[in-house]
Amino acid sequence: MNSFVSDQQAFKRAAQNLSKLPGTGSLNACQTILAKATGHRDLHHAQALQARRANAPIAAPTATQVEIITSLEKATEGKVGPILNALQRARFFGPKADPEEALNVRADLFSKEFPATNRQALGSPCRIKEEGRPARRALLISRGGDRNSLSEAMTDHGIATCVGFELAQHRKGNFFIPMRFWMPYGVWTEKDGSKVLFSRDYCPLWKIKEDCAPTQDDPNRAVHFTDQQWFFDEMTFRQPADVARNRGLEILREYRVVSVPTLVEWLPECLKQKKWISDFKKWPWASSTQETLVV
C-alpha cells in the first residue's frame, strides 16, 4: 500500500486509543503496528515523515482507511469495529472526522465479509420492487428457487418477505448499514444530566456527557432516564431513505459524534441468523436464557 502520513499528535492519540482495546498490546507495540499498517518500515520511519509533512492535514480516502484498519485487525487480536472507533476518535485519518465517512468505511469493511459474488450471496445488495410502492434498498438474506417463491431481505427497517420477482439484484448497489443500526431515534436524560442517544429499537447508541467526547454505549444497557424526547415519529422515520439518513447524520453532528455505535456490530449475526435487533436485544423483562450478542 502507499504510505499514509498522519498528523503526529493524531498518531499518538490513535496509538493510545488502540492500546486500550483488548488484545492489541502495549502502547509501544501499538505505535509500531500502526506505523507498519500505514505503510512505513517502522515507527522511526513514520515519525521522520510526520516531522517533514506539510502543515495542511490531508484526509485519507475511504479505500486507504479500509486498508489500514484491515491491516491493524490482522496484526492484533482487536476487532474491526473498536479499531475504527479508536482511530475516528483520534481524528487519525484527518482533522474533520465525520459519522458519514465512518459509516461508509464500516460498510466497505462489511462488504469484504459479505462479498456479492452472485445473486444468491448473503448480504448482496438488492432492491424490493412492490407494486404501488417506491423501491426499497435491501441486503439479501435468502432467495427462493423461482420467481414465485418467497425470498427474504433486510431493509432499513427490518426483515422483509417478498416473492422472488419483487426482489431484484442491485448490480450497481453497495453494501450499506441499515438505518436502525446507527440512526438516533430519540434521546434520554439520566439523573446525572448525561444524554443517551437511542435507536428505533430503544438500544442505547451514544452516551453524551458535558465537556466529554461522546462514547459508544452498550445496546443492552438498561437506562434509567428522567426525561425522554424523540427526533422522529413513525411516519417521519420512514421518510425516503436519503431524507431520513441526512437528518440522522445532522443529529449525530449536533452531538459531536464522529464514529459508529456498537449496535452496528450486531449486523453480521442478524444477517447470518435471519434475525432482527429486537431478537437479540436483552430486555429487562426477558428470560435469562434469551440469546444476545457480545461484540
Three cell numbers, residue 71: 491491516
Grid coordinates given for 218:
452498550
According to the model, what pLDDT value does residue 53 have? Answer: 73
Which pLDDT value is given to residue 270? 98
Domain-wise residue ranges, the chain: 8-93, 125-169, 182-280
b/e code 50-70 from CB counts within 10 Å (16+ = b):
beeeeeeeeebeeebbbbbbb
In this structure, what DSSP letter does residue 59 have?
A: P
How wide is the angle at C-alpha 44 spanned by C-alphas 39 and 50, nearest 5°? 70
CA 149 to chain centre: 32
- Residue 252: the pLDDT is 98
Residues 137 and 107: their CA atoms lie apart, in Å, by: 14
**Kind and range of the H or E element at 205?**
strand 204-208
**Of residues 152, 118, 153, 121, the one with CA closest to residue 137:** 153
Query: What is the pLDDT at residue 45?
Result: 93
| pLDDT given at position 55 | 56
Angle at 274 between CA 149 and CA 266, to 5 degrees: 150
**31-212-107-58 Cα dihedral, nearest 10 degrees:** -60
Q: pLDDT tens digits, the chain, 295 residues: what are they?
A: 668 988 899 999 999 999 999 989 999 999 999 999 999 999 999 999 888 876 555 789 999 999 999 999 999 989 999 999 999 999 999 989 999 999 999 999 999 999 999 989 999 999 999 888 889 999 999 998 888 899 999 999 999 999 999 999 887 889 999 999 999 999 999 999 999 999 999 999 999 999 999 999 999 999 999 999 999 998 999 998 899 999 999 999 999 999 999 999 999 999 999 999 999 998 876 655 456 665 6
Under 8 Å between Cβ of 200 and 183: yes
